[in-house]
Amino acid sequence: MQRSKSYALLFLIGAFIAGIAVGVTADRFLSRDGHDHRAPRSALDRMSKELELNATQRAQFDSIMTRRRTQMRELFKPLRPQIDSIQKIGKAISDSTHEQLKRVLTPEQGKKLDEMRERGRREAAELRARRDSTGKDRPTPIP
């Protein structure tokens, strides 16, 4: 019986981690702008620094990446409804997994898990708001 509970707990933790991975992947690669929300322009900045680009080269890189973003946005436009649907299903799975995990935890641990989840959601919302308020496109990390 104890072994079954251990397997169930491992499965729930795996499902929780998978939910996080799906959410992060969807947010980073399938979001409306497809940009890395953690550090604006970080990939292009790193590339620029490592390649020691001059100002003219950097401007050309920026222009090329802007065209790439536009092309990628257009490529994914027809898929947007399916992506939105998948995100809703992913949220439902995440919510269910969260509740299942809380049943394994003590009330104090459950409260901490809720706080961790809320903090993550708040940070993601702040990043989206910051991005939306600037109106600027940021480069997509190079795959």
Give pLDDT tens digits for 4-28: 777 777 777 777 777 776 666 666 6
CA distances 96 to 6, 9, 73, 80, 100, Å, are 19, 14, 31, 24, 6
Give pLDDT tens digits for 41-74: 677 888 889 999 999 999 998 899 889 889 988 9
Structure tokens given for 29: 């690669």
Helices (H), 30-79: 42-51, 55-76
Regarding pTM above 0.75, the answer is: no
Residue 125 has, within 13 A of its CA and on its CB side, a CA count of: 6
Torsion sign over Cα 61, 63, 64, 66: positive
Q: Are 138 and 34 in contact (CB under 8 A)?
A: no
Domain residues of the chain, as ranges?
2-133
Q: CA–CA separation, 48 vs 64, rounded Å? A: 13
Q: CA–CA separation, 106 vs 125, rounded Å? A: 28
Structure tokens given for 73: 């946005």
